[in-house]
Each structure stands twice: as structure tokens, then as C-alpha cells.
Structure 1
């Protein structure tokens, strides 16, 4: 059985230059998503991921049983705020987010519904299982960003602010562009296993003519 690996089949979407911003066109893709607000180091974000990952692996195993295995890809998240300066000022309490994991386009809402029931049953048997209310709000969504700028950030997440300030205040205006969607990050490294200075994160910003 051939295993689908998005990082290989869609390599330009998971690679970016360390210096400067590359311009890419993003196709529509399918994700499991969950929304929230607040500090990504806080309990709400952690609880969301605790529900999101079992759902993604549940979908993976269901697809594998059907002869369509795939590798669960890196975690991604959309970030925004009513005032976008909250990002460059690190005002995390006002950050809104959507955590998401990509799944094959062939995955259906009916499959996700079945997986949700199976995952909820398994998690209920654990003393530290996922919150059933969060499992219920995870959704399957087709998502297309179109025209984007992206680059690779190497280092702690807390060091992103100057890079984003430069993007917002200089790079985008210099190209005649403005915000075309929510700030997007792809986490190529696992912060539980990688030192902060070695974290690799793709920073992505959908854009449109200003």
C-alpha cells in the first residue's frame, strides 16, 4: 500500500526560504479544524490539540483500513486578532486561532462523524482523555488561501514578532499588497523534542492587491 505524504507530494507548500519571502499560490486543501482564543501556551490551546490529534489519527486508521493510508502532516494554525498589532506586540490574550491538521481530499463528513464516535468512546475510557465537547466541535473544512507570501523562521516562536512587523510594514506595502487572509503557521518541529533555537516554522500570509 502506498502511503500519501503531503510533504513529498506538495513539497513547495512545506518548504520556504530562510531569507526573504517567497510568493506561492495555495490550492484548496482539506483540514480537520478547531477554533479558540488566547495564549498558545495556555490550557485552551493544549486541550484543543489533545482532541484534534486523536481525530486525525482516527481518520488515518479509517483510511488505511480502506486501502488509502496517509502520513499525518505537521500541525498548522491560523492566527488573527481584532487588532492585528496584537501579534507584533505579543498581546497573546487577544489572539484568536484555528488549529488544524490536513487530511486527504477524499475524506468525507460522514467518515469524520463515524471517526468522532469511535474516538469519543476510546477517549472516555482514559483518565486524561480529550474533552468530549471539543471532539464535537472539530470540523472538516475545505480551505483555499490563493496568493501568499511565506518564509521559514528558525528559532523560538516568541522571536517571530520583528519578522512579522517587517512583513506588515515594509514587505507587503512595498509589493502593493495587503492582508488577504489570516496569518498562517506550519510547525515543522515538535517543541516537545526540539530546542527553541532550532524550531522550524513556516510563516505564511495570504495577500491581495492593496
Structure 2
């Protein structure tokens, strides 16, 4: 019997995850996410460390549910999608000028979930993870259907601290195309992390940078 290939969202939806270094417009559809919110410098914040533990813990609990015969209805083989983040500062907004003042960050970290995941599956995964790690606090964790809508995006290659130059490139493109930045009212600066900073040299890190836009 032929083995069915795992769905890799990065490869299947290259327009969402693998843009070029030249900015582009994209209409981002509804997707399912597990999200954890917090604030502070992600390099030193305990809450960010806990967010990573929750996101990966829940994502892999759902992925490996097949091993215990508890896989949800409609389950299929897949690769856990990459970590993503929505960012703003304590003043609201995110134009790139505050990107080095990380103590002022407010963030929503998230991982996309397959289409078969429901609120019921999410609650089951939390209970399963709690059995292994009863100290986990899920108070800022939620399961959401998130529609981002019309955006401009670009691939940033290099250290995270060098993102402001790429953000400026993105913002110039938005204006040149007759649009304007629409960050605010729940629409936020968005990053998708395609490399592991623990294993990848900073100069080789790839990060999708995405800004919501509207017609000028």
C-alpha cells in the first residue's frame, strides 16, 4: 500500500510561507491557531518561555494523538506548522522604530492547526498536557479562527535585530502600490519563523514579515 505523504503547510501554501525578498500583496484566508499572549522581551521573559512550552506541547499532543488511538475525526498526517507571532508595543502599533526596545513588546505567539482541530480537540489536548505538566497555566491560551485579510509581506533573511531595514522596504512598497499600513484595531505586525535560532546562524535565519494594509 502506498504511504500517504504528510501535509507540509509550508510547501503546500508557498504564497503564505515562502515569499521572495521582494515585497508582495496577499489576501490571507481564515486559518485555525492555538495562541498564547504575553508581554516583555522574548529573550528574557518567563512568560514567553512558557508560551513556547504550551504551543509546542499542545501542537505535538494533537499531532501524536494517533499513537494512543485518540486521533480526532478527519485526522491526517502532517508536519507541525512554524511558530508565528503578532507584535505591538505598549503604546500600540508597530512601525519598526521600537523594534530594539524589546521590554515594551506585547505579543501573541501562535501555531497553525490542521483543519480537523476543533474546540473539543483543543480542550482534550490541554487536559492531556496538564497530566504531564500540571504546573502549566493556560489562562492566556486560546483556540481561534483567525482571518488576516489583505496584507503585504516580504521575506527577511538575517538576524531579528536587522528587521527594521526590511520593514522599511515593506512599508515603501505598500505606499508605492497605493495602499496604506492598517496596523491597529486588532490587525498587527506579523512574523513567521522559518528557522530555529538555536540551530541556524543569525545571518541565515528566514522570517516572513507581514503587515495588514488597506486601499489608500
Shorter-chain-normalised TM-score: which range? 0.7 to 0.9
Q: Secondary structure at the match of 2:96?
A: helix
Relative to the length of structure 2, the TM-score reads 0.85
Say what the alpha-carbon RMSD is for the aligned residues. Answer: 1.9
Contact 2:153 2:170 in 1 (8 A): no
Q: Which runs of 5+ in 2 are unaligned?
A: none
Q: Where is the helix percentage greater, Structure 1 or Structure 2?
A: 1
Give how far 1:91 is off. Answer: 2.0
Per-residue deviation, residues 62-87 of structure 1 (Å, max 9, x unmatched): 26743422210111111112343673
Give the number of aligned pairs. 201
Give how far 1:197 is off. Answer: 0.9
Relative to the length of structure 1, the TM-score reads 0.87
Per-residue deviation, residues 132-187 of structure 1 (Å, max 9, x unmatched): 21x3432110111121111111110000012213433x332332322332111110
Superposed counterparts of 1:3-82, under 5 Å? 3-18=6-21, 20-43=22-45, 44-62=47-65, 65=69, 66=71, 67-81=75-89, 82=91
Partner of 1:204 in structure 2?
210
Q: Which runs of 5+ in 1 are unaligned?
A: 125-130
Between 40-49 and 80-89, the greater mean CA deviation after superposition: 80-89
Contact 1:116 1:136 in 2 (8 A): no
Mapped partners of 1:21, 1:105: distance in 2: 28
Partner of 2:116 in structure 1?
106
Mapped partners of 2:170, 2:157: distance in 1: 16
After superposition, the Cα gap between the structure-2 partners of 1:207 and 1:45, relative to the gap in structure 1 and judged at 3 Å, is same
After superposition, the Cα gap between the structure-2 partners of 1:9 and 1:167, relative to the gap in structure 1 and judged at 3 Å, is closer
